[in-house]
């Protein structure tokens, strides 16, 4: 199982290639790994799918001793360990899911210094003298995965996590790495404080998940809306979140009635049933899981293509985390939110039932922010990222608002009114009150604060409450105002507001959109991998499923979708070419290489492809040809002169690829050349042939027709 010892400990790139099969590091990975190798602590904030695991897995292989990885969920650990083993890394997990015999074996391997990584639950780490055991062996590093679980402010608080701070004090020489995908400023502070990471370097990559397309629809016959959405995504894996257990059961049954393979999952179902729903999903045996938010934290399945929120989530953190389960493999994926007034009322009822007033207040503000996102008429991604304190340069181009923009208007004057009103009320009030002042409302609160005497009182009486609310929300999303959710959602001006207030800048905003159209736009599934051969992809997928079943692991542990797609594009026919595919490392090459090479070879043979490996420029021309482009279009797609594109096609013909000249040049010309060839004979001298054809027929066209006959 173990990979050969690493000889050059400095070459982490070689490990990345050889063990994991990846050609290059993602942003920050190298810095983090080098920092940990130098013995530094690290705080890593990266979005889901950003590649956090490698940040401690590679140091684990390069440093002496075992890396101890604390992880909150059993299924997550098993998954990571399976994935590591598939790459030939010596890893194990230690948690309550192990029988006593297995547990004893893991401990023996630990003491025998056989492990590179040990995944452990916080309970096990902190009990039964486990820390004493760790003192007896070398430890490469500690990694705390899902580190936000230390924070009470967050939504996944775990009591045991709060005690993990003692790792820093008990093992001062061992680097500690905390990793999370969800952390607002408050949670970030908690993590640093609780885990004793004051000296840690912070590595914060953007929150953005550019491959996820966000769409919000006003709820109207939601089941039909869902079916419409699913119709465009047949066979693709996804999760549908609903608010209550009852709703989950009803919905999954209705989907099954429609012939779809949908499993239900919520905390009220028996353990085995939940387990089997999860397993079936991981193993690509059901298409989707309909679930409450109880589902998903342990789901590392990288090829989830969509996440639907059938009901409005309670806060943006949860929404972002749940939608983040889509597209971990980086391929295009969808997040659909159905949003209705009734849901807001239901969510408010839940919040009203909360005992603790402080918590009620926070939850209520968080819900407002969520509603703000759902009702937004600016780029959804801008709103989301802004909520996490991140600015987006340009609108994203991959959300419903960007793809189907609402009408705009010149809002300079309105913005000035709104901003100066925020200023006049002392930057101490929220949206509702500012709107009341703008509209000149006459109510108790205004009178008791004497706000009817402000210069901005009533300056906006020409607009409805809904319009002003929309304007204020957009000013927040664009960064002219901030809204302090921890402090009664009070509005405050930012630096950016000044030039606008001074009239040095104009501003266009979107007209509020009350009704949205359900536009059917199929996401392209091939970004990053270029066009690939879908029928070969399906065959490779079937092979992957068979191998995975034989070994009792989920299919993605064998290879990810992106890896299969690249195989189906490049059609590697030897080990070298297969190793060049992203996600194919040395160990997997040895384990699965033969099976996949055979499958690709058979496929190429039975489809009349020569089976000759092509160099990439030629292959790209071949792919363009297969898309049905003519010579002009191939040349411009490839950025080549016509003659060179023609030359590629000639070489493809020589390689035995079925290139048809009549498909790439004008029919008229083809007929002329073809007739001339028939008249003069195949072996006619070139000058002869050339002389028999008019000048508007190019030399390379003659070559192509002749070669293809
Ligand atoms: P996170 O824990 O941040 O959600 P993972 O560590 O699970 O993300 O990584 C997400 C996916 O990206 C995994 O399939 C992983 O193998 C892949 N990945 C990570 N780093 C790289 C890289 N440098 N090149 C290619 N793929 C990578
Ligand atoms: Zn957008």
The yes-or-no verdict on residue 348 having pLDDT over 70 is yes
Question: Nearest ligand to the C-alpha of residue 79?
Answer: 1
Closest atom of ligand 1 relative to the 83 alpha carbon: 16
Question: Nearest ligand to the C-alpha of residue 86?
Answer: 1
Per-residue pLDDT band for 609 (boundaries 50, 70, 90) equals: low
Length of the chain: 709
Ligand 1 proximity of 26 Cβ (cutoff 6 Å):
yes
Centre of ligand 1 to C-alpha 301, Å, is 12
Per-residue pLDDT band for 614 (boundaries 50, 70, 90) equals: low
pLDDT of residue 522: 40
**Parallel/antiparallel/unpaired status of strands 481-484 and 212-218:** unpaired
Question: Nearest ligand to the C-alpha of residue 392?
Answer: 2
Ligand 1 proximity of 281 Cβ (cutoff 6 Å):
no
pLDDT of residue 484: 76
Ligand 1 mutation target, pool 53, 73, 147, most atoms within 8 A of CB? 53
Asked if residues 473 and 418 have their Cβ atoms less than 8 Å apart, the reply is: no
Q: Copy the structure tokens of residue 368.
A: 């407002």
Phi, psi dihedrals of residue 623, rounded to the nearest 5°: -65, -40
pLDDT of residue 600: 93
Mean pLDDT of the chain: 88
The yes-or-no verdict on residue 351 having pLDDT over 90 is no
Per-residue pLDDT band for 5 (boundaries 50, 70, 90) equals: very low
Asked if residues 35 and 200 have their Cβ atoms less than 8 Å apart, the reply is: no
Closest atom of ligand 1 relative to the 48 alpha carbon: 4
The yes-or-no verdict on residue 392 having pLDDT over 80 is yes
Ligand 1 proximity of 50 Cβ (cutoff 6 Å):
yes
The yes-or-no verdict on residue 208 having pLDDT over 80 is yes
Centre of ligand 1 to C-alpha 103, Å, is 29
pLDDT of residue 485: 66
Handedness of CA 329, 236, 238, 121 (dihedral sign): negative
Residue whose CA lies nearest to ligand 1 atom number 15: 51
- The string of DSSP letters for 588-626 reads HHHHHHHHHHHHHHHHHHHTT-------HHHHHHHHHHH
- Contacts (Cβ under 8 Å, ≥6 apart) of 269: 277
Question: Nearest ligand to the C-alpha of residue 561?
Answer: 1
Angle at which helix 699-708 crosses helix 642-654, to 10 degrees, equals: 10
Ligand 1 proximity of 327 Cβ (cutoff 6 Å):
no
The predicted model gives 403-421 an average pLDDT of 92
The yes-or-no verdict on residue 527 having pLDDT over 60 is no
Tokens 């007739």 sit on residue: 675
Ligand 1 proximity of 25 Cβ (cutoff 6 Å):
yes
Closest atom of ligand 1 relative to the 26 alpha carbon: 23
Ligand 1 proximity of 28 Cβ (cutoff 6 Å):
no
The yes-or-no verdict on residue 683 having pLDDT over 50 is yes
Centre of ligand 1 to C-alpha 91, Å, is 17
| CA dist., res. 293 & res. 23, Å (int) | 36
Tokens 């486990």 sit on residue: 130
The yes-or-no verdict on residue 518 having pLDDT over 70 is no
Centre of ligand 1 to C-alpha 618, Å, is 30
Ligand 1 mutation target, pool 49, 177, 324, 529, most atoms within 8 A of CB? 49
Per-residue pLDDT band for 520 (boundaries 50, 70, 90) equals: very low
Residue whose CA lies nearest to ligand 1 atom number 5: 51
pLDDT digits (tens, 9 = 90+) for 464-480: 888 898 899 889 878 89
By three-state DSSP, how is residue 580 classified?
coil
Closest atom of ligand 1 relative to the 582 alpha carbon: 25
pLDDT digits (tens, 9 = 90+) for 64-75: 999 999 998 887
Q: Which of 312, 325, 265 lies closest to 291 in space, CA to CA?
A: 265
CA geometry: angle at 151 spanning 491 and 37, to 5°? 115
Centre of ligand 2 to C-alpha 211, Å, is 12
pLDDT digits (tens, 9 = 90+) for 153-164: 766 788 889 999
The yes-or-no verdict on residue 529 having pLDDT over 80 is no
Residue whose CA lies nearest to ligand 1 atom number 26: 22
Centre of ligand 2 to C-alpha 56, Å, is 33
**Distance separating the N- and C-terminal Cα atoms of the chain:** 54
The yes-or-no verdict on residue 123 having pLDDT over 70 is yes
Ligand 1 proximity of 142 Cβ (cutoff 6 Å):
no
Ligand 1 proximity of 52 Cβ (cutoff 6 Å):
yes
pLDDT of residue 486: 67
The predicted model gives 103-132 an average pLDDT of 94
Centre of ligand 1 to C-alpha 583, Å, is 10
pLDDT of residue 237: 94
Ligand 1 proximity of 51 Cβ (cutoff 6 Å):
yes
pLDDT of residue 10: 60
| CA dist., res. 228 & res. 178, Å (int) | 42
Ligand 1 mutation target, pool 51, 325, 557, 562, most atoms within 8 A of CB? 51
pLDDT of residue 530: 60
The predicted model gives 249-255 an average pLDDT of 97
Residue whose CA lies nearest to ligand 1 atom number 18: 51
The predicted model gives 665-686 an average pLDDT of 88
High-pLDDT (> 70) share of the chain, %: 94
The yes-or-no verdict on residue 654 having pLDDT over 50 is yes
Q: Copy the structure tokens of residue 508.
A: 């266009």
pTM: 0.66
pLDDT of residue 7: 41
pLDDT digits (tens, 9 = 90+) for 558-603: 999 889 999 998 899 888 899 999 999 999 999 999 999 999 988 8
Q: Is 245 left (phi over 0), alpha (psi -120 to 50) or beta?
A: alpha
Per-residue pLDDT band for 525 (boundaries 50, 70, 90) equals: very low
The yes-or-no verdict on residue 8 having pLDDT over 60 is no
pLDDT digits (tens, 9 = 90+) for 443-452: 999 999 999 9
The predicted model gives 419-439 an average pLDDT of 95
pLDDT of residue 368: 87
pLDDT of residue 608: 63
Ligand 1 proximity of 143 Cβ (cutoff 6 Å):
no
The predicted model gives 252-271 an average pLDDT of 95
């Amino acid at each position: 199982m173990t990979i050969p010892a690493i000889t050059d400990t400095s070459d982490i790139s070689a490990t990345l290639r050889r063990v994991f099969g990846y050609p290059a590091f993602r942003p920050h990975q190298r810095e983090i790994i080098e920092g940990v190798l130098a013995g530094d602590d690290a705080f890593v904030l990266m979005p889901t799918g950003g590649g956090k695991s490698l940040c401690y897995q590679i140091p684990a292989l390069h440093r002496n001793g075992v890396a101890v990885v604390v992880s909150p969920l059993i299924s997550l650990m098993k998954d990571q360990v399976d994935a590591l083993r598939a790459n030939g890394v010596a890893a194990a997990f230690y948690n309550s899911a192990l029988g006593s015999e297995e547990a004893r074996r893991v401990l023996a391997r630990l003491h025998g210094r056989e492990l590179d990584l040990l995944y452990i639950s916080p309970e096990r780490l902190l009990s039964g003298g486990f820390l004493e055991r760790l003192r007896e062996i070398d430890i490469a590093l500690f990694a705390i995965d899902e580190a936000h679980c230390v924070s009470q402010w967050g939504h996944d608080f775990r009591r045991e996590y709060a005690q993990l701070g003692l790792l820093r004090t008990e093992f001062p020489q061992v680097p500690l790495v905390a990793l999370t995908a969800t952390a607002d400023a408050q949670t970030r502070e908690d993590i640093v404080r609780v885990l004793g990471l004051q000296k840690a370097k912070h590595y914060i990559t953007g929150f953005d998940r550019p491959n996820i397309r966000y769409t919000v629809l006003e709820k109207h016959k939601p089941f039909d809306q869902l079916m419409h959405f699913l119709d465009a995504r047949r066979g693709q894996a996804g999760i549908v979140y609903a608010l209550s257990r009852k709703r989950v059961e009803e919905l999954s049954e209705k989907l099954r009635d429609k012939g779809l393979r949908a499993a239900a999952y919520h905390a009220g179902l028996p353990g085995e049933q939940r387990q089997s729903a999860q397993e079936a999903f991981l193993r690509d045996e059901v298409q989707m899981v309909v679930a409450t938010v109880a589902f998903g934290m342990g789901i590392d399945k990288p090829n989830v293509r969509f996440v639907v929120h059938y009901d409005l989530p309670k806060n943006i953190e949860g929404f972002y985390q749940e939608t983040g389960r889509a597209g971990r493999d980086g391929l295009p994926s969808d997040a659909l939110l159905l949003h209705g007034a009734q849901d807001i009322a239901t969510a408010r009822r839940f919040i009203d039932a909360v005992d603790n007033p402080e918590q009620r207040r926070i939850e209520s503000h968080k819900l407002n922010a969520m509603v703000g996102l759902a009702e937004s008429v600016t780029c959804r991604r801008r709103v989301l990222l802004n909520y996490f304190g991140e600015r987006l340069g340009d609108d994203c181009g991959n959300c419903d608002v960007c793809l189907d923009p609402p009408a705009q208007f010149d809002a300079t004057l309105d913005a000035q009114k709104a901003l100066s009103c925020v200023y006049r009320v002392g930057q101490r009030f929220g949206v509702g009150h500012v709107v009341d002042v703008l509209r000149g409302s006459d109510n108790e609160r205004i009178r008791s604060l004497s706000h009817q005497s402000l210069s901005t009182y009533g300056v906006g009486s020409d607009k409805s409450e809904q319009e002003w609310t929309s304007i204020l929300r957009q000013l927040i999303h664009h960064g002219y105002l901030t809204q302090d959710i921890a402090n009664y959602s009070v509005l405050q001006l930012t630096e950016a507001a000044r030039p606008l207030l001074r009239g040095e800048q104009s501003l266009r905003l979107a007209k509020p959109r009350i009704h949205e159209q359900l536009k059917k736009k199929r996401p392209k599934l091939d970004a990053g991998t270029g066009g690939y051969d879908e029928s070969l992809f399906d065959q490779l997928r079937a092979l992957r499923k068979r191998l995975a079943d034989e070994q009792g692991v989920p299919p993605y542990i064998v290879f990810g979708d992106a890896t299969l797609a690249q195989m189906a594009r490049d059609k590697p026919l030897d080990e070298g070419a297969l190793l060049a595919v992203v996600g194919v490392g040395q160990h997997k090459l040895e384990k699965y290489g033969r099976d996949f090479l055979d499958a690709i070879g058979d496929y190429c043979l039975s489809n009349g492809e020569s089976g000759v490996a092509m160099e990439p420029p030629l292959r790209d021309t071949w792919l363009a040809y297969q898309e049905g482009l003519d010579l002009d279009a191939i040349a411009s797609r490839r950025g080549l002169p016509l003659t060179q594109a023609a030359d590629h096609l000639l070489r493809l013909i020589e390689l035995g690829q079925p290139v048809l000249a009549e498909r790439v040049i004008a029919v008229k010309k083809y007929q002329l050349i073809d007739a001339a060839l028939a008249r003069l004979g195949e072996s006619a001298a070139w000058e002869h042939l050339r002389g028999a054809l008019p000048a508007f027929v190019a030399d390379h066209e003659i070559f192509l027709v002749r070669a293809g006959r």
